[in-house]
Structure 1
Amino acid sequence: MKHARVMYEGRVHRATSHAVGGRPDAAVRLDDGRVIVEDLIIWLPPLAPTPRPRTILALGLNYADHAKELEFKAPEEPLVFIKGDAALTGHRQLTRRPADVQFMHYECELTVVIGKTTRKVRRGDAYDFIAGYTIANDYAIRDYLENWYRPNLRVKNRDGCTPLGPWLVDAVDIADPMALALQTTVNGKITQAGNTRDMIFDVPFLVEYFSSFMTLQPGDLILTGTPDGVVDCRPGDVVVTSIEGLGELFNTIEYT
């Protein structure tokens, strides 16, 4: 099932996907039973079971082709940074580009949503601790980057710099999260394409790795990195990051 969090008539609602006129995902069914077309709602990050994750972990250089694109050696151990929840925004929202920067790019990322308390989990049991998956577009500003292995805080933790959604798809509905096609378009032109099978550190490995030294709680997020193909995004650009089975996440760039 596809779940969402939306704002409608001044209230936050849990919602699920609803087809209209043969178009899947054209509307949502609110938790009170009303069906509302998507143009009438404000999309929020589809977090569960609470509206705020305790921990957001994000991978850098987790696709060998992206590391090569950036002229870096692929890491031998996960390269990870922590994000604040204020960085998250929803589907069809705006993300600001500071007026003085030279290069700001998208990053289409499969995002894991933890479903229950996760501590010292073995790789073979990792999927049992996942509630579902969603899409993140983890924008980065290269101007602020001091070192690929020591990213400046402003690179990834600006307010509203990481669209998330539109759906949280139940884990049971994704047969193999390590075989999903990813794609990004900018103003309708395909600029990035890849597949989750090309991750250096796959989802079960990451759950085992993180839970070996820290406890993850329900609703925590793991952003798993992006393949190559990133390009500079300018104000007015409409960026669509999509992942097979999870939907399409729309975002528009504006100046700060």
Structure 2
Amino acid sequence: MRIFRILNNNAVVVIDGPQEKIVMGNGIAFQKSRNDIVPKNKIEKIFVLHEASSEKFQQLLATLPEEHIELAENIISYAEGYLSSPLSDHIHIALTDHLSFALERIKQGIPIKNKLLNEIKMLYKSEFEIGLWAKKEISNKLGIEIPEDEVAHIALHIHTAKLDAPSMSESLKQASILSDFVQQVEEFVGEKIEESSINYQRLITHLRFALNRISLGEKFDPIDQDMMDLIQGKYQTAYSYSRKILDELSKEYEIEFPESEVAYIAIHIQRLLK
């Protein structure tokens, strides 16, 4: 492979047969020029992206600080090892662009906020652990301390890059629903719910699986009528509020919860009341 275009010291564009590829490696373009042969021992990653994505990635590699690009690649490599699974190629564009912008904001003293921090931390635990690793890596390499809000942003990027994961918009929608849901339940209970409590985790886990099934269009098993009558009678207040919350979420996010979910959520709310 011969160099077609040098993007930075660690990335070049090559023409390999009919395809344009981006080749990355530490110092791969050092003292090199167009048409020089790419040293095989320097190659660490090769990307074949769609035309629009390739152009965007080339722009990032040519304009962003090399240390930001290197950090993003280190985080992606760590994530793929931690999850034992490859990530979508688009993560190299999305995370690199996001991370560089976030680091510049932090250096300028602009605060980074993530209103879905708690939900992302609960929903995507493995990805959040990767974000915490990234926090240490950024501190060690650049001496910049990123807040947990930014850790959550990184976690969400990692999650949506998993090959079987929903889109970023769908993941954000799910986290927003959970955030609104918890807020309404806390208002009903009259106190903030302890996130480490088993009842809170059961509630979030149950709702998360329900949302996944709704998103995939899967059918829910109907609840036994005797069980339904028992819940409506014994947990009347919790059932009434479960109905109110899920109806509001249905209107806000244009989703439909089956009757069985109203009853099961009522049980979880009742546990929190106790």
TM over 0.5: no
Q: Give the strand-richer structure, 1 or 2.
A: 1
Structure showing greater radius of gyration is 2
Normalising by the residue count of structure 1, what TM-score does the alignment of the two structures yield? 0.22
Higher relative contact order (CA 8 A, sep 6+): 1
